[in-house]
Structure 1
Amino acid sequence: MPDGSANTKPHALPGASDRAPPAAPARTLRDPAALVRAGLVPADAASGLERLAETYAIAVPPAVQALIDRADPADPIARQYIPDVAELDTAPQERSDPTSDAPFTPVRGVVHRYPDRALLKPLLACPVYCRFCFRREVVGPDGGLLSEAELEAALDWFAATPEVREAILTGGDPLMLSPRRLGHIIRRLSAIPHLDIIRLHSRVPVAAPERITPDLLAALETEKALFLCVHANHAREFAGPARAALRALAGAGVALLGQSVLLRGVNNSPEALGELFRAMLAARVKPYYLHQLDRAPGTARFEVPISEGRAILRALRGRLTGLAWPTYVLDLPGGAGKAPLGPDFAVADGADWLVEGPLDGVPQRHAAPPG
């Protein structure tokens, strides 16, 4: 899709209209020819995209296809998912492993970067392949599924590592697992005494909501604190089917968090980002993280400067409920962790502080306590 600024054309949030949404197409589009037939890319782009498909996976599932406005060349949904030959250009600052998973992998499928938590990556398949994905060079339809022996070794590692209090299922997308296999993982993790929290990161509720079935909900049953972090970047992703899937998850006792990436042409304006966070809350999802783009190969067209991200959030402060406020973070290269980037409203002035009110923009002195 062509480059451009965030699409701020007003769109009704789910539930704001009685008009039925368009019927979802029948199948996932997985190659450039299918994208051409669906009217999502021009025919003369197919040859270039064939070269791209040799390196990076393509998948546009029915629920996502139904959200794309084909009449809008800058559609923010299409921009996230429809491949572009610009992805073949790697900028000097881009890295094949921007978050440095590899050096922190004690056994296959585990990443232990922070002292008290670790990732479990049981597979590398996703319902949809984001064009800005920081694991884009390893995810794909072949799945990267851990073998039974590898999965058990990874689970044994969690059991043998008492400093780890939280297991984070990611990948790939853990909700692409069969309910049987997912249920086994949840039960094994739930039986580890020192684990307090199980967290899953997923696109499934917004990209393939039909996968949220009674069997999958049953697989998530646990006495542990279980959180599902839903990845979405635009308000329109919270359409009717996604809202229904999220209601089902919330009804099953799953705590819902939201994570987003700040993306040029998708949500890089106060209007677009504010609509996204409000749509999340309306779907019972608490915004948790807003990520600065990880510099994976071929993703430069999406990057928003940190200064612009801070300005967007500053414009929203005081005009958006605190419930909608995520932590704006940059995952530093080399495995140094997520650094908060959020706008500052307080500046030290000797022992005092000058604190700017987000509603009037006027700094006020907050004096140090006497003595």
Structure 2
Amino acid sequence: MKRTLRSARDLAAAGLVTPARAAEITPVEARYSVAVTPAMAALIAAGAEDVAAQYLPDPAELVTAPHELDDPTADAPFTPIKGVVHRYPDRALLKPLLACPVYCRFCFRREAVGADGGLLTEAELEAALDWFARTPAVREVILTGGDPLILSPRRFAHILARLSAIPHVELLRIHSRVPVAEPSRVTPELLAALTLETPLYLCVHANAAAEFTPEAGAALRALHGAGLVLLGQSVLLRGVNDTEAALEALFRTMLRHRVKPYYLHQLDPAPGTARFHVPEAEGLALLARLRGRVTGLSWPAYVREWPEGGGKYPLGMPAMQPGAGHPRRSG
């Protein structure tokens, strides 16, 4: 397995699914992209069921529950220009592409991301960068997608240089699966592109301790050595990390790899993801049972998104609807 597996046929040829299962999931790949990197395929082949659940397609993905939404985080209403999402006054997302090294079966942007890449053209990218330059309220730019770390180092360096040159941009943040899902992409050229004067934070998406392979550890050490602050973000997922033992192992493993757990996301209701749903009350109870068992350094904020857009709020406390002056009860 030296290349990314991109179809049910590839998965069967690699021995990750049976031929019968491949026939069942072939219709899924027609709607939602499939990609399993060699690093993740090796874990699945070795029996890591918590990794397999995240990346192997399932026929259940073609069943959309009544509460599920094509755009569960409401990106579209907060998109002032292509490639930009502006929900909060002082920060905005830049999505230079919509391709990823792997495709999570629970992705909240699964209707948009895929093999075609959704790469911004040069003109679209420059227009997006110009938007940040003329929007002084934005102090933090969050590069996401898709996964921005699969861009060429040259193109990514250009984006970071442009953003760093904007006087009112104080912080840059990258959200990525690359360090764990495809650590071979963390090359000297990429590290050079990430070396900046502007403070740079990297949010590493991982949901199971098994994802932190020795290769991932080396990539994370290199990123830390290049001056990046490493944060961890995870999604609470049925069958992946919905036990005390799994969450404790995940948080402890993150810290051992210099990654501070930052967000534990409640699953966003994207189409065909119901099998991953863990009720909020169960998630709160899981975290409560971990209180005192793990260091406070390992404690993430447990958050969910407003389905109408407007960003995240922490679970377990009254939520403030964006723009409102009163608490709003969570659903």
TM-score by shorter chain over 0.5? yes
8 A contact 1:164–1:194 mirrored in 2: yes
8 A contact 1:110–1:121 mirrored in 2: yes
Q: Secondary structure at the match of 1:250?
A: helix
Aligned: 1:192 with 2:166: yes
Q: Partners of 2:230 and 2:312 in 1: how far apart? A: 21
8 A contact 1:40–1:70 mirrored in 2: no
8 A contact 2:16–2:45 mirrored in 1: no
Alpha-carbon displacement from aligned partner over 1:237-272 (angstroms, at most 9, x marks no partner)? 111000000000000001100000000000001110
Give the total of aligned pairs: 318
Q: Partners of 1:165 and 1:320 in 2: how far apart? A: 33
Map of 1:268 onto structure 2 = 242
Counterpart AA for 2:125: L
Map of 1:139 onto structure 2 = 113
Map of 1:240 onto structure 2 = 214
Map of 1:358 onto structure 2 = none
Matches within 5 A, 1:142-221: 142-221=116-195
TM-score by length of 1: 0.84
One of 30, 33, 41 as aligned partner of 1:54: 30
Map of 2:273 onto structure 1 = 299
8 A contact 1:155–1:188 mirrored in 2: yes
Map of 1:29 onto structure 2 = 5
8 A contact 1:230–1:256 mirrored in 2: yes
Q: Partners of 1:199 and 1:152 in 2: how far apart? A: 19
Percent of residue pairs bearing the same amino acid type: 67
More helix per residue: 1 or 2? Answer: 2
Matches within 5 A, 1:89-168: 89-168=63-142
> Judging changes above 3 Å, is the alpha-carbon distance between structure 1 residues 71 and 255 closer, same or farther for their aligned structure 2 residues?
closer
Q: Partners of 1:206 and 1:192 in 2: how far apart? A: 31
Q: Secondary structure at the match of 1:334?
A: coil
Alpha-carbon displacement from aligned partner over 1:292-343 (angstroms, at most 9, x marks no partner)? 0000000000000001000000000111000000000001101132110148
Greater C-alpha Rg: 1
Segments of structure 1 that go 5 or more residues without pairing to the other structure are 1-24, 345-371
Matches within 5 A, 1:10-89: 25-69=1-45, 71=47, 75-89=49-63
Counterpart AA for 1:63: A
Offset of residue 50 of structure 1: 1.6
8 A contact 1:291–1:328 mirrored in 2: yes
Q: Partners of 2:134 and 2:45 in 1: how far apart? A: 50
Segments of structure 2 that go 5 or more residues without pairing to the other structure are 319-331
